[in-house]
Structure 1
Amino acid sequence: MKKEPIKSHEDLEAYKMAFDTAMKIFELSKKFPVEERYSLTDQIRRSSRSVCANLAEAWRKRRYEAAFIAKLNDSEAEAAETQTWIKFAVKCGYLDVEKGREFYGAYNQILGILVTIINNPSPWIIKR
């Protein structure tokens, strides 16, 4: 099976996983208690979506290696933050342990991809 060429940030495996997981988090976070609306609910939604947004920005900054890496670092930080909110959601009993593990594991995979690209950005940089 031949891999399709990557034409946009939406073709990146890390982006697809992050988007899919952010949408699952959004759906499940609808069941979080109302008193968590402005803390845990907003935070987990914001950070999970920011992984995708920062990846999109990084993709558009591939002409400049430092800017590309900086946005990937932002995406990495947001993924790690999302993992923290997942742990809080599980500990508070808003998210069952299995779902928490699934989401946490997805972000571990996303983090692995991001770190790999950060450590070797040259194949991704647009040559002038």
Structure 2
Amino acid sequence: MDVRSFMDLDCWKVAREFRNRISMLAKSFPVEEKYGLTSQIKRSSRSVTANIAEGYGRFHHQENIQFCRMSRGSLTETLDHLTVALDEKYISEDQFFDFKTELERCLKVLNGYINYLRKLKSSTK
């Protein structure tokens, strides 16, 4: 496949699907969480795709890798927010494990992209 934009990256596509699912989930949280958990989980999931996009736009492999690492951190932060939702009984254990599985898929694809960038970086030295 020809990559002409960050939107062509598999890691961005998978993270976008995840982000959209998180956004829909957040709409089901109680109103009193609007400025708390709802805002935090939406921001962390949005940060995943935003950092992939920003890293892609840097045109230097090391900077791109660094932004992808920040995306990984945002995925981990989103997982923590999901555990809060579980603990507060806003989601069921089944929902939690479905989201966790999807998050792990995002992480796997993102790690694959990071490894690809590392190989490119070492081949251009």
Q: TM-score range by the shorter chain?
A: 0.7 to 0.9
Match of 1:52 in 2: 49
Give, in whole Å, the separation in 2 of the partners of 1:26 and 1:89: 13
- Aligned pairs for 1:1-128 within 5 A: 4-61=1-58, 63-122=59-118
Structure 1 regions of 5+ residues with no counterpart? none
**How big is the alpha-carbon RMSD for the aligned residues of Structure 1 and Structure 2?**
1.8
Residue 67 of structure 1 and its aligned partner are, at CA, apart by 0.9
Structure 2 contact 75–103 (Cα < 8 Å) conserved: yes
Aligned sequence identity (%): 32
SS at match of 1:53: helix
Residue 109 of structure 1 and its aligned partner are, at CA, apart by 1.4
Aligned amino acid, residue 52 of structure 1 = T
Structure 2 regions of 5+ residues with no counterpart? none
SS at match of 2:55: helix
Give, in whole Å, the separation in 2 of the partners of 1:104 and 1:123: 29
Residue 123 of structure 1 and its aligned partner are, at CA, apart by 5.4
Residue 106 of structure 1 and its aligned partner are, at CA, apart by 1.3
Residue 11 of structure 1 and its aligned partner are, at CA, apart by 1.7
TM-score (ref. length: structure 2): 0.86
